[in-house]
Amino acid sequence: MDKYETDIVKVKNKVEEREKTIKTLQDQNFELNYFNIEGNEDALTYFEAQGYDTEELIPLVIDGLYNMNDYEGEDHPIVPYVSTTGSKLLINKVRVINHRWMIANFTDGLFWGEILVKYTIDENNNLKYELIDHLLYPKVN
Instruction: Give the pLDDT confidence of 78-108 residue by residue, as tens digits.
Output: 999 999 898 999 999 999 999 999 999 999 9
Provide the domain limits for residue 17: 1-32
Q: How buried is residue 27: exposed, middle or buried, by Cβ count under 10 Å (0-12/13-18/19+)?
A: exposed
43 and 76 in one domain?
A: yes
Q: What are the φ/ψ torsions at residue 130 (nearest 5 degrees)?
A: -135, 125
Q: Which residues contact 116 (CB under 8 A, 6 or more apart)?
A: 101, 102, 103, 131, 132, 133, 134
H helix count then E strand count, the chain: 3, 4
pLDDT at 141 over 80: no
86 and 57 in one domain?
A: yes
pLDDT given at position 39: 85
Q: Do the domain assignments include residue 141? A: no
Q: Do the domain assignments include residue 84? A: yes
Q: Do the domain assignments include residue 77? A: yes
pLDDT at 110 over 80: yes
128 and 110 in one domain?
A: yes
9 and 50 in one domain?
A: no
Q: Do the domain assignments include residue 48? A: yes
Q: Is the separation of the CB atoms in 83 and 74 below 8 Å?
A: yes
60 and 88 in one domain?
A: yes
* Domain total in the chain: 2
pTM for the complete prediction? Answer: 0.80
Give dist(CA 15, CA 31) in Å, integer. Answer: 24
4 and 72 in one domain?
A: no
Q: What are the φ/ψ torsions at residue 45 (nearest 5 degrees)?
A: -65, -35
43 and 97 in one domain?
A: yes
109 and 61 in one domain?
A: yes
Q: Do the domain assignments include residue 102? A: yes
